[in-house]
Amino acid sequence: MNLSSADQVTRRARPHGLAHRSRPFGMFLRGFLKHPVMVGSVIPSSPILIDKMLKPVDWAKTRLFVEYGPGVGTFCRPILERLAPDAALIAIDTNPDFIAYLRDDIVDPRFQAVNGSAADVRQIVRDLGHESADYVLSGLPFSTLPAGVGPRIAAETAAVLRPGGAFLVYQFSPKVKTFLDPHFPRIDHGFEFWNIPPAQLYWAWKD
């Protein structure tokens, strides 16, 4: 079967069956237990939440998509399926275990996994040869991040986005809006009940 270049995400050969299917969840659970402050939930996001969160993205005009806290790649794969052949996805995570897993599991020339902090997004984007991002996605739990980190991430994200770009945020607490308000003049809000736990969705636009 032939796949278009925009849809194809090449993966290394790996075992099938229950053992492999349980590997991402086991990795996600271990990451949550080791770094509960940096991982928003013990359960990866549902397909319904993923589709709803990504629906406003203008994929035809997207050249750089950035994700904070990709975990085991729950969003990475759907993003790559939608991303144009000449676009790029940068995934940033402070957990080296997640980054090593993603580098091993997702082999796609458009994808780069970076072990670093979302607070350094502008430097990371520049270091990888880009001037700005079209969209940034985050599931980081802003309300439990160390003091000062949440405001810095919000400010750096607003700075790295191009005009017309957006910061896409899914959270389990509405407190994140207090971090977004100072930097984004227009914030759309939604709610996804069919997720565990139910999630608050925000699309903060850099008009």
Count each helix (H run) and each strand (E run) in the chain, helices first: 7, 7
Residues contacting 63, CB < 8 A, separation 6+: 84, 86, 87, 88, 134
In the prediction, which pLDDT does 44 show?
A: 66
Closest by Cα among 11, 8, 7, 6 to 101: 11
In the prediction, which pLDDT does 13 show?
A: 33
Decide: 67 and 92 in contact? Cβ < 8 Å: yes
Residue 28 — very low, low, confident or very high, per pLDDT cuts 50/70/90? Answer: low
The predicted model gives 5-23 an average pLDDT of 40
- Annotate 35-63 with b (16+ C-beta within 10 A) or e (fewer): eeebbbbeebbeeebbebbbeebebeebe
Tokens of 206: 């850099």
pLDDT digits (tens, 9 = 90+) for 39-91: 444 456 689 999 999 999 999 999 999 999 998 899 999 999 999 999 999 99
- Strand ranges inside 3-46, DSSP E: none
pLDDT for 15 beyond 50: no
pLDDT for 1 beyond 60: no
Residue 37 — very low, low, confident or very high, per pLDDT cuts 50/70/90? Answer: very low
In the prediction, which pLDDT does 3 show?
A: 46
CA distance 123 to 81: 26
Taking the CA of residue 46 as centre, how many other CA atoms within 13 Å lie in the half-sphere pointing to its CB?
A: 11
CA distance 77 to 112: 12
- Name the DSSP letter for residue 14: -
The predicted model gives 160-170 an average pLDDT of 97
Give pTM, 2 decimals. 0.81
CA distance 117 to 71: 13
CA distance 203 to 191: 11
Tokens of 194: 């069919």
pLDDT digits (tens, 9 = 90+) for 190-207: 998 877 688 899 999 998
pLDDT digits (tens, 9 = 90+) for 108-163: 999 999 999 999 999 999 999 999 999 999 999 898 889 999 999 999 999 999 99
